[in-house]
Structure 1
Amino acid sequence: MALWLIPGQHAETVCYICYMIAGYSYLSKELRSNAIQRLTALWAFTESGLGGIMHALQIPFTGLLVGGMAVIMISLIAEISDHNFKQVLKSAVIVLLVKAMVSPHTPFPAYIAVSFQAVLGYTLFSLLKVNFFSIALLSTMAMLESAIQKLLIITLFFGKSLWVAMDDMVAYIGKQFGNTVANGSYWIVGIYLLIYLAGGVFIAMLAYRTIKSFKSESPSFLPNSTTEVSIDFVQPKKYSKKNSFKKLWILILLMIGLSAVLFVFADDNKKGWLAVAKTITWTLSAILIWFMLISPLFTKAIQKLLKKKQSRYSEEVLNILSFLPVLKQLTAQAWQQSKLHHGFSRWQFFFTSLIHTTLTYTESASTQMPLNNPV
């Protein structure tokens, strides 16, 4: 069986991969290659569409879980590739190509994040192999990179006045409780980074347990019965500018809130109005330069660089694009199947069942879903 929809392959091989995935060191070169292709497809879907699906399903902590799924994919690809860690970099290029085609208006920081995760994963696994320590380093460093990137962008948009306003606001709140709090913005940033660090540790535990469950003799996520699942193939929706407008509205609301803080906590009205004027001028200029110049130029440069690789990976990219509608349906099914699990075990069940159905789906056969729990 090839895990892509290749003619001439038999459904019974699906069962083989279901139970041999636990001992993937015994997989043939062909099966190993096809498993990596499917995992790459799921990684591409994670980066280009999973977030929207999770929002639609009202799944909490979407951003954290999308990042976690990427870490799991990188770790699984590194492990199943028989420690050919360059495969992680190859898969990352394919993921970026799919991302550029599905979401052509994706801002360049998103490309940087994917590239950073891939290069970091390649480096860590090359030095330390795939184990809990290397996965934990990958997860926490990836989360911290994401957090720091957001802080830098916010600082670019709002300038020094953002941190001045935070210092003044925290100092005022502390004063109400009879405490003197200096450099309140440092505390806010510190707590923010600690939240992402804790998220990285959570993701590392989830990723390690997910990978470990695939290596166990009797993985709990494997199906003990089968069901027919109807997969409706739909055309991918065209890019909508709603997301861009949403981000602009968020920035505008933040600017209004920041201006209000600067005005209220100023020593006098004159300084307050001056601070507000400076903030509005800086923020509007930064937004215009970012959205009209910097982001489009960098995005086009990245896409131009990726196009040079497109012909080399054209077959893989086309296969993934045709498989994305299926992954959308499988994600919804996996989330429904995980309903009777709670807390940490639900996330593990969701991830493992989604990975399992991604690996075992065939066009001609019914999708085998984990049925330990009813929909």
Structure 2
Amino acid sequence: MIAGNTYLSREQRLNAVQRLTALWAFTESGLGGIMHALQIPFTGLLVGGMAVIMISLVAEMSDHNYKQVLKSAMIVLIVKAMVSPHTPFPAYIAVAFQALLGFGLFSLFRVNFFSIILLSTIAMLESAIQKILVLTLFFGESIWKAMDSMIALLATQFGSIVSNGSYWIVGIYGLLYLAGGLLIALLAYRTIKNFKTENPAFILQVNAEADINKAGLKKTFQKNNYKKLWVLIMLMICVSAVLFVFAADNKTGWLAVAKTVSWTLSAILIWFMLIGPLFTKAIQKVLQKKQSRYSDEVLKTLSFLPVLRRLTALAWQQSSAYKGFNRWYHFFAMLIHATLTYSEPATTAIPANNPL
């Protein structure tokens, strides 16, 4: 399916898979922060798209040995645990889910447009469902009642009656993620199908100066640690206000607010102080047992991460000649091309004796 990959030798395929695994690990452990520092729009969508492309490319470059997707995913998880030890356990579950889904779909249908669409849309819907479940866990039934009340009030302003407005919100939210999944699938398929290492449009000028705001990057990482907590607090305030306003009387309103606040604070404390750390430590212990088995691949991947950080900044800068969807496409293609062909003196951890 990938133009120009049929002539590759076994050694070249192994090198390609190794580099792609490193890029996948970087996608999961550091790409989001780099993109925020570069002020790249739709970061979440791009990171999700890159993961789908990496899984598809690893499956194709491994000469249809789809178990390589699972092996690469294990290396990615180990690196993720080492580089980002405070990553919440749902992030590990998401990576494992995507890898297992990719392995299953490609084993059944091979790597083609249909299987990539299924992988992308299901992965995005899983992400949406995960967020909805977390909201329900933190806020309980109150958040959906609050949404029903707000939608009903807005509907009456337009002379309509809407019941169960929260279902509409969840449905629209799911459709947005589904549309994002289709966009990612199109981007992934186009990147993979049309990828040719000799295409001059994809060649990255690696000797150029990478303009990345390191101070901004550090601030981004610090802010991201508290961002989700602030979002939860703001949501809690909004839900409490709606419950109070739309309650039958003030007494009921105060009781509803008190119940929501106490439940949410308890859920947040239990999640962040008990459940989250316990599950994360359990996952990290399992990964540590696997680490010795993949020690060589893990070390090579870790040593290549600083290079990938610089290549990401260069790819975004040099794709600025394109606009909209085309810029995303060329950004992905440039970054993948540079990852596969990058070469430096003998100190390079990942050999590139046979650049693709």
Instruction: Answer yes or no: same fold by TM over 0.5.
Output: yes
1:23 is matched with 4
Q: Are the equivalent residues in 2 in contact too, given 1:22–1:219 (CA < 8 A)?
A: no
Tell me, in whole angstroms, the C-alpha distance in 1 between the residues paired with 2:237 and 2:207. Answer: 53
1:265 is matched with 246
What do the CA deviations read for 1:186-228 (whole angstroms, capped 9, x no partner)? 0000000000000000000000000011259x646343x9662
Query: In the superposition, relative to structure 1, how do residues 318 and 230 fare at CA in structure 2: closer, same or farther (>3 Å)?
Result: farther
Tell me, in whole angstroms, the C-alpha distance in 2 between the residues paired with 1:211 and 1:55. Answer: 25
Q: Are residues 1:163 and 2:112 paired?
A: no
Report how far residue 319 of structure 1 moved.
Answer: 1.1
Identity %: 74
Tell me, in whole angstroms, the C-alpha distance in 2 between the residues paired with 1:278 and 1:238. Answer: 35
Report how far residue 240 of structure 1 moved.
Answer: 6.3
RMSD across aligned positions (CA): 2.2
Q: Are the equivalent residues in 1 in contact too, given 2:33–2:221 (CA < 8 A)?
A: no
Report how far residue 265 of structure 1 moved.
Answer: 1.3
- Structure 2 gap segments, 5+ residues each: 347-356
Secondary structure at 2:5 match in 1:
helix
Q: Are the equivalent residues in 2 in contact too, given 1:71–1:207 (CA < 8 A)?
A: yes
Report how far residue 253 of structure 1 moved.
Answer: 1.4
2:135 is matched with 154
Report how far residue 229 of structure 1 moved.
Answer: 3.2
1:294 is matched with 275
Which amino acid letter does the alignment assign opposite residue 105 of structure 1?
A: H
Report how far residue 245 of structure 1 moved.
Answer: 2.6
1:146-225 equivalences in 2 (<5 Å): 146-214=127-195, 219=199, 221-223=201-203
Tell me, in whole angstroms, the C-alpha distance in 1 between the residues paired with 2:49 and 2:39. Answer: 17
Report how far residue 22 of structure 1 moved.
Answer: 3.8
Which amino acid letter does the alignment assign opposite residue 279 of structure 2?
A: F
1:329 is matched with 310
Secondary structure at 1:229 match in 2:
coil
Which amino acid letter does the alignment assign opposite residue 126 of structure 1?
A: S
Q: Are the equivalent residues in 2 in contact too, given 1:75–1:130 (CA < 8 A)?
A: yes
Normalising by structure 1, we get a TM-score of 0.87
1:109-124 equivalences in 2 (<5 Å): 109-124=90-105
1:306-317 equivalences in 2 (<5 Å): 306-317=287-298
Report how far residue 120 of structure 1 moved.
Answer: 0.1
Report how far residue 320 of structure 1 moved.
Answer: 1.1
1:305 is matched with 286
1:228 is matched with 207
Q: Are the equivalent residues in 2 in contact too, given 1:265–1:272 (CA < 8 A)?
A: yes
What do the CA deviations read for 1:39-71 (whole angstroms, capped 9, x no partner)? 000000000000011111111111111000000
Tell me, in whole angstroms, the C-alpha distance in 2 between the residues paired with 1:283 and 1:124. Answer: 38
2:320 is matched with 339
Query: Which range is displaced more, 297-306 or 207-216?
Result: 207-216
Report how far residue 252 of structure 1 moved.
Answer: 1.1
Query: Which range is displaced more, 258-267 or 86-95?
Result: 258-267
Secondary structure at 2:6 match in 1:
helix
Q: Are the equivalent residues in 1 in contact too, given 2:3–2:195 (CA < 8 A)?
A: yes
Tell me, in whole angstroms, the C-alpha distance in 1 between the residues paired with 2:239 and 2:219. Answer: 35
Q: How many residues align?
A: 342
Which amino acid letter does the alignment assign opposite residue 40 of structure 1?
A: T
Secondary structure at 2:244 match in 1:
helix
Report how far residue 100 of structure 1 moved.
Answer: 0.2
**Aligned to 2:333, which of 348, 352, 363?**
352
Which amino acid letter does the alignment assign opposite residue 254 of structure 2?
A: W
Tell me, in whole angstroms, the C-alpha distance in 1 between the residues paired with 2:186 and 2:221. Answer: 35
Q: Are the equivalent residues in 1 in contact too, given 2:209–2:314 (CA < 8 A)?
A: no
Tell me, in whole angstroms, the C-alpha distance in 2 between the residues paired with 1:242 and 1:189. Answer: 28
Q: Are residues 1:63 and 2:39 paired?
A: no
**Aligned to 2:68, which of 87, 91, 116?**
87
Query: In the superposition, relative to structure 1, how do residues 239 and 293 fare at CA in structure 2: closer, same or farther (>3 Å)?
Result: farther
2:120 is matched with 139
Normalising by structure 2, we get a TM-score of 0.92
Q: Are the equivalent residues in 2 in contact too, given 1:103–1:239 (CA < 8 A)?
A: no
Tell me, in whole angstroms, the C-alpha distance in 2 between the residues paired with 1:289 and 1:72. Answer: 36
Tell me, in whole angstroms, the C-alpha distance in 2 between the residues paired with 1:58 and 1:229. Answer: 20
Tell me, in whole angstroms, the C-alpha distance in 2 between the residues paired with 1:245 and 1:214. Answer: 39
